[in-house]
Amino acid sequence: MSRMTESPEARAAKLREELQRHERLYYRDAKPEISDREFDRLMAELAAIEEEHPELRTADSPTRRVGGEPTEGFEQVEHTPPMLSLDNTYDHEELEEWFGRLTRLLPDTAFEFICELKVDGISLSLLYENGVLTQAATRGNGRVGDLVTVNARTIRSLPLRLPAGAPARLLVRAETYMRRSVFAALNEERAAAGQELYANPRNTTAGTVRLLDSRDVARRRLNLACYEWVPPAGDDGEEGRRSHGESLAALADLGLPVADSWRRCASLKDVVAYCDEWRQKRGELDFEIDGVVVKVDDPGLRDQLGATAKAPRWAVAFKFEAEQAETVVREINAQVGRTGAVTPVAELEPVLVAGTTVKRATLHNYEDLARKDVRVGDAVVIEKGGDIIPKVVEVIEERRGPESKPFEPPGHCPACGEKLCQPEEEALLRCVNAACPAVVRERIRHFASRNAMDISGLGDWLVGSLVEGDLVADPADLYGLTVERLADLKKTNDARLGEKAAARTVASLEESKRRPLNRLIYALGIRFVGDSTASLLARRFGSVDGLFAATVEELEEVDEIGDRIALSVRAFFDSEHNRRLLDRLREQGLQFEEKSTGEDDGDRPLEGKVFVLTGSLAGTTRSEAGVRIKALGGKVTGSVSGRTDFLVAGEKAGSKLRKAEQLGVKVLNQAEFEELLVAHGD
């Protein structure tokens, strides 16, 4: 039925379903299929229908997530049972002691444990009645918390309604948290607006959950991880008797977000291995964890173990060491980026933080530095948040010497000596000299980087010496390099680079000429054009010439492209200098057109097939496997549904595998997957 003839009721129902699906894709699976803008458009359409036909409004409509008038403070709600805390352990020995206590309390028992990540956020208690979310509360003091239902509704991975068959009453405990990427973007926005930066995702989450206007909460894009299904008191029915692992799987099946990183462990040794593994890998996550929670799986054993006034005996937290440390600032240097932005970097007395030595930390910008009043010689607290560059959190002022002086920002570029300027509305200092060697070097490093032209033979050292030696002033110069020229370059130890390495570099340059248009656009380093924007532009305009000819209005017609990006793209192509660069790159034979790359050519034998990848694949990654599927015309999505054709299950596949088995989706192990690809011409 076309949209025109569809009844408002049918359209509203369809929109609600679509919006819920996209919310899950975005928040639970982190695999959005549509842009934020498209999402907002669907939401606006639904809101308009509901406005016109109030009778079509439902309690679980996605429109209920946003809006809502500011409330006066919060109502209180009692927790039954109370939300207890957890006992902590900090090393293997303490974990063993905990295990010893269990075996003393219940001798001759074979314990099985469920290990979960201890997400560092704010805990919430969620109540569903007859499938509808009716209450969300903070932990508060554990017995009484704040009722924050309206705010919790804005958490998009939190279903407002559960599917048919959900229990009449369902009490779930969960952690709400902010992704690192969301936190970083929030702070970037604040920096751009000249506002004080937030300290860390956890505190920001705590503040957010208790904001009085739920519209502000919605903007913060919180996430959720459910970790406990609380059985009704005195219940001996089926739900109450599920093992913890089964209840996590059941929660996931009800559409509640459960991190699939949990693992069943049959021995203390396995528990220790899980803890150590995540202590190592915590930096890979897009959210912060402060440890692991180990829980007894069997509900009967849990009952027998019981709880103290403070914490259950059947669970324990294994806490990771703090990622903060104290050290001393030796120097404050200026670092010049590829856009000419000059940022301060603290050179530190080396210090061990969470297992690695930290020698440098970012100070963001000179305004931030001044606000924190960081000085050379200061004792400071630094913090490492996984893959994020370590940062200086605060100065320990009591330890400052009497001769200490405030730090003066540089007036001139440390690389070229040009006078620095501070553009209006920016917290940054900039070197605007287009020929500044630091800017040139960073631009070339960006051009050669992995997501750009991926020129593997071109490491940092080589780029540095090519720029210093005046052999390369822009990316086009790279393609004029010869083996002879490169082979003679002197390394720091005065040895030549040599023919072999030089030939490798030239070969990888040659190979990079075949990179598709979207990578080339990204590699150009147009301001505000990241790799996903570059892909949008490549798809929409199809060639460098098409993009070159686009007006600001035409650019803005592309989803997700606002005036900031459009103006920046236009300004890039309007520059005489950049046009000459593009002409030279074209002469070198780079791909100026979409689709002439071979990547999209040829057969698409997997056209229309939908794949989901889960678990770890030997010798490859899921994203590599995804690229191969797409090259054959297949599609990769993040979650298993009735529309999934194949689930590729690597080692340690979790809830997705269970879901696929339930839905009767064809499951392929790695060998079968390889076979399928080869059979289709991979």
Binding-site member from 416, 432, 473, 483 for Zn ion (CB under 5 A): 416
Task: Report, in Å, the least distance between residue 318 CB and ligand AMP.
Answer: 11
118, 391, 635, 656: which one is catalytic? 118
Residue 413 as a binder of Zn ion (CB under 5 A): the answer is yes
Q: Is 134 helix (H, G, I), strand (E, B) or coil?
A: strand
Rounded-to-5 percentages of helix, strand, coil across the chain: 40, 20, 40
Give the separation between CA 19 and CA 40, rounded to whole angstroms. 9
Q: How is the beta sheet containing 113-119 ordered, strand by strand?
A: 88-89, 315-319, 289-296, 113-119, 263-265
Report the relative pairing of strands 263-265 and 289-296 from DSSP bridges: unpaired
Binding-site member from 25, 46, 86, 170 for ligand AMP (CB under 6 A): 86
Question: Is there a contact between 402 and 389 (Cβ–Cβ < 8 Å)?
Answer: no
Interior angle at CA 449, CA 443 and CA 451, nearest 5: 120
Alpha carbon separation from 566 to 147, 291, 427, 569 (Å, rounded):
44, 44, 22, 5
139 binds, among Zn ion, ligand AMP, none (CB under 5 to 8 A by kind): ligand AMP
Residue 415 as a binder of Zn ion (CB under 5 A): the answer is yes
Residue with tokens 């505190």: 203
In the residue annotation, 118 being an active-site residue is answered as: yes
Task: Report, in Å, the least distance between residue 88 CB and ligand AMP.
Answer: 6
Give the separation between CA 197 and CA 405, rounded to whole angstroms. 24
Residue 85 as a binder of ligand AMP (CB under 6 A): the answer is yes
Question: Is there a contact between 450 and 511 (Cβ–Cβ < 8 Å)?
Answer: no
DSSP letters along 630-665, please? HHTT-EEESS--TT--EEEE-BT--HHHHHHHHHT-
Count interface residues toward ligand AMP (CB under 6 A). 11
DSSP letters along 199-264, please? S-HHHHHHHHHT-S-HHHHHHT--EEEEEEEEPPTT--SHHHHS-HHHHHHHHHHTT----TT-EE
Q: Which one of the spans 345-353, 363-371, 416-424, 448-456 is the region binding Zn ion (CB under 5 A)?
A: 416-424
Residue 202 as a binder of ligand AMP (CB under 6 A): the answer is no
Measured from the CB atom, the residue of 317 and 427 that comes closer to ligand AMP is 317
Residue 12 as a binder of ligand AMP (CB under 6 A): the answer is no
Task: Report, in Å, the least distance between residue 414 CB and Zn ion.
Answer: 8
Measured from the CB atom, the residue of 380 and 436 that comes closer to Zn ion is 436
86 binds, among ligand AMP, Zn ion, none (CB under 5 to 8 A by kind): ligand AMP
Binding-site member from 23, 50, 175, 288 for ligand AMP (CB under 6 A): 175
Residue 119 as a binder of ligand AMP (CB under 6 A): the answer is yes
Give the separation between CA 8 and CA 13, rounded to whole angstroms. 8
By CB under 5 A, what part of segment 418-477 binds Zn ion?
A: 418, 431, 433, 436
Q: x-or-dash pattern for ligand AMP, window 292-321, by CB under 6 A?
A: -x-----------------------x----
Task: Report, in Å, the least distance between residue 431 CB and Zn ion.
Answer: 3
Measured from the CB atom, the residue of 292 and 453 that comes closer to ligand AMP is 292
Write out the residues near Zn ion by the rule CB under 5 A. Answer: 413, 415-416, 418, 431, 433, 436
Enumerate the active-site residues. 118
Write out the residues near ligand AMP by the rule CB under 6 A. Answer: 85-86, 116, 118-119, 123, 139, 175, 227, 293, 317
